[in-house]
Amino acid sequence: MMYGTRLPLRSILRQSALSGTISGLLMAAVIAGTSRMRTGRSAPGLNAVSHMFWGSQAGRQANWSVRYTLNGLLLNQLACLFWSGCFEALYHDRPSNLPRQGVPHVIMLSFVAYLVDYHMVPKRCTPGFELLFPRAWYPWLYAGLALSLWGGAQIPVPSLRQIAHRERVTGRFK
């Protein structure tokens, strides 16, 4: 990557929207699966995410509902769009062999997400995992975030990669 050159914001946002959508769906599956392992039900983990709106009672909701589950899914999707956007903005000029070389980047980003989620933002803005899962499970949940970010980044968007390739070949941004 040529430092000091930037891709158009539109290209990065388009890639972020695609990869973030896939990442959000995958992370929702991770949360639901982890919740099923912990409680025997998949809804409580997703419901706990909605504690931003409904307080700690969200973590005690065992059933699927529009109020808790839908809001939890939407908040999870927004968070994954944000972290995918960070990934795309930082690593938009990744090589074509992303499956191998992208892994350290998503692991680092998921660690940063953990630090932000549990050491920088107010308690009301955390993902709500603390309402349902023991702290020892956090590494697994954030490994799920890393896998979901990696999975979302596998979506090919030719225009973004073509721009990055053109930048490398010509040494300038067109």
Does this model's pTM top 0.85? no
In this prediction, residue 89 carries a pLDDT of 82
Question: Of 90, 142, 144, which Cα lies nearest the Cα of 112?
Answer: 142
CB 109 within 8 Å of CB 149 = yes
Question: Of 106, 129, 107, 132, which Cα lies nearest the Cα of 118?
Answer: 129
pLDDT for 138 beyond 80: yes
What integer best gives the mean pLDDT of the chain?
A: 85
Distance CA 128, CA 56 (A): 8
